[in-house]
Chains A and B, each alone.
Chain A
Amino acid sequence: MWAVTLVILFLLFANLPLATAVYAASDARDNPESEIKSGKHFVVTLRSSFTPISAKQAKRDFPDRPVYLLESKAFGKTVHLVRVGFFSSYADAMAFRRQALAKYPAALVSEIPANEYAVISRTFPAMKPAPAAKEIKKLEPKVAAPALPVPAPAAPATGAGEFSPKALYAIQLEESPKAIRAAHAPIPAALRRYRLYVTQSRVRNKTNYQLKLGFFENEQDVYAARKQLKAAFPGAKVTRITLNEQKGSVRTALSTSAVLPMIAAPAPKVSPGGVAKTPATSVAVAPQPSAAQMPATSYDRDALALSEKGRAALARGDNITAIGAFDRLLRLPPNRYSQDAQELIGVARLRAGETAAARKEYELYLRLYPTGEGSDRVRQRLAVLDARTAPTPPPALKTVKPQMQAQSIIVGNFSQYYYHGASKLDSTTLSPTANVQNQASLTQTDQSSLVTNLNFMHRYRSEEYDNRLVIRDTFTKNFLQGQEDTNRPSAIYYELKDRQRDYSARIGRQPGGSGGVLGRFDGLLAGYNFTPRWRVNVVGGIPTDITYDSHLRFVGTSVDIGPYADHWGGSLYTIEQKVDGVTDRHAVGSELRYFDPAFSLYGLFDYDTEFKTTNITLVQGNWTATSGTSAHILFDRRKTPSLSLTNALIGESDTSITSQLTTKTYEQLKQQALNLTSTTNLYSVGVSQPLATSWQAGFDFQSAHTSSTVGTANQPAQPDTGTISTYTGNLIGNGIFTQRDVNVVSVSRIKGPTFIGNSYSLTNRLLWGGSWSLDTTLSWYTQHDSSLDTDLKRFAPSLKPSYKWKNNITLEAEFGEEHTTNTGPTTEDKTLRRYWSLGYRWDF
Chain B
Amino acid sequence: MKKLLSAITVLFISCASAGIAHAQDTILDDVDTSVEPEWTQIRVHFTLPVNYERHFPQEHGQQLQIFFTIAGLQAQKLSLQEEVRNVPATPVMPAATITYEPPLSLNLQRDPSTLLVRFDRAVNYDVRPGEDHRSIVIYLPVVPVETPPARDTADRPAGKNNPEK
Contact = CB atoms under 8 A, between A and B. Distances in A.
Contact of A519 (B12, B18, B77, B132): B77
A726 B53 contact: no
B152 A545 contact: no
A77 B126 contact: yes
Contacts of A621: 51
Given A105-B144, A414-B8, A740-B62, 12 more contacts: A45-B37, A54-B157, A411-B88, A473-B16, A486-B21, A488-B23, A491-B26, A492-B13, A545-B74, A622-B52, A632-B69, A642-B74
A241 interface: no
A53 B56 CA distance: 24
Q: What range describes how many residues of B lie at the interface?
A: 35 or more
Interface string B100-140: 00001100011110001010001010101101111001010
Given A411-B86, A597-B128, A632-B51, A547 B25 contact: no
A595 interface: yes
14 contacts: A54-B148, A110-B37, A411-B87, A413-B86, A492-B13, A519-B77, A593-B132, A604-B71, A632-B54, A634-B71, A741-B63, A742-B65, A744-B65, A765-B65
B9 A456 contact: yes
A639 to B, nearest CB: 10
Interface string B25-66: 110011000011111000000011101111011110111010
Contacts of B137: 75
B158 interface: yes
Residue among A413, A488, A509, A763 having the largest count of chain B Cβ atoms under 10 Å: A488
Contacts of B161: 51
Residue among B35, B109, B110, B157 having the largest count of chain A Cβ atoms under 10 Å: B110
Interface stretch (A6-14, A335-343, A651-659, A696-704): A696-704
Nearest to B128: A75
Contacts of B91: 105-106
Interface of B: 1-2, 5-6, 8-9, 12-13, 15-26, 29-30, 35-39, 47-49, 51-54, 56-59, 61-63, 65, 69, 71, 73-74, 76-77, 84-88, 91-92, 95, 97, 104-105, 109-112, 116, 118, 122, 124, 126, 128-129, 131-134, 137, 139, 141-144, 146-148, 152, 155-158, 160-162
A471 interface: yes
B141 A620 contact: no
Contacts of B54: 630, 632, 686, 688, 696, 698
A354 to B, nearest CB: 29
Contact of B38 (A74, A400, A486): A74
Contact of B126 (A50, A411, A638, A810): A50
Contacts, number: 290
B38 A109 contact: no
A359 interface: no
Given A630-B54, A641-B74, A75 B126 contact: yes
B59 A50 contact: yes
A844 B5 contact: yes
Contacts of A519: 25, 73-74, 77
B53 A618 contact: no
A168 to B, nearest CB: 39
B110 A704 contact: yes
Interface in A767-793: 767, 773, 777, 779, 781
Interface string A619-641: 01110100010101010101001
A57 B157 CA distance: 12
Contacts of A511: 25-26, 29, 47-48
Contact of A455 (B36, B84, B146): B84
Contact of A487 (B17, B35, B52, B58): B17
B5 A106 contact: no
B133 A602 contact: yes
Interface residues of A, number: 129
A593 B126 CA distance: 21
Residue among B26, B124, B152 having the largest count of chain A Cβ atoms under 10 Å: B26
A518 B22 CA distance: 15
B5 to A, nearest CB: 6
A761 interface: yes
Contact of B12 (A470, A473, A750, A841): A473
Contacts of A104: 144
Interface in A700-730: 700, 702, 704, 726, 728
A777 B104 contact: yes
B131 A726 contact: no
Contact of B36 (A395, A412, A734, A740): A395
B20 A487 contact: yes
Closest 8 CB pairs of A and B: A511-B47, A106-B142, A53-B158, A108-B37, A602-B133, A843-B86, A475-B16, A486-B21
Nearest to A593: B133
Contacts of A694: 57
Nearest to B21: A486
A513 B52 contact: no
A473 B2 CA distance: 19
Given A487-B18, A519-B73, A765-B116, A399 B63 contact: no
B92 A79 contact: no
A513 B139 contact: no
Contacts of A514: 134
Interface string A674-692: 0000000010101010100
A569 interface: yes
Contacts of A106: 35, 91-92, 142-144
B22 A740 contact: no
Given A742-B56, A767-B63, A616 B74 contact: no
Interface in A794-811: 796, 807, 810
Contacts of A56: 148, 152, 155
A97 to B, nearest CB: 10
A759 interface: yes
Contacts of A763: 104
Interface string A479-507: 00000111111111000000000000000
B63 A742 contact: yes
A458 interface: yes
A416 to B, nearest CB: 11
A597 B130 CA distance: 9
A454 B15 CA distance: 13
A702 B110 contact: yes
Contacts of A765: 63, 65, 116
Residue among B47, B76, B162 having the largest count of chain A Cβ atoms under 10 Å: B47
A759 B105 contact: yes
A260 to B, nearest CB: 44
Contacts of B26: 472, 490-491, 511
Contacts of A484: 19
Contact of A51 (B8, B24, B88, B157): B157
Given A395-B36, A488-B21, A624 B59 contact: no
A156 B126 CA distance: 42
Contacts of B139: 74-75, 77
Contacts of B20: 487-489
B22 to A, nearest CB: 5
B53 A632 contact: yes
Given A732-B56, A740-B61, A602 B74 contact: no
B28 to A, nearest CB: 9
B23 A520 contact: yes
A47 interface: yes
A598 to B, nearest CB: 9
A618 B109 CA distance: 14
Interface string A457-469: 1100000000010
A555 interface: no
B20 to A, nearest CB: 5
Contact of B22 (A74, A108, A547): A547
B100 to A, nearest CB: 12
B12 A475 contact: yes
B53 A485 contact: no
A264 interface: no
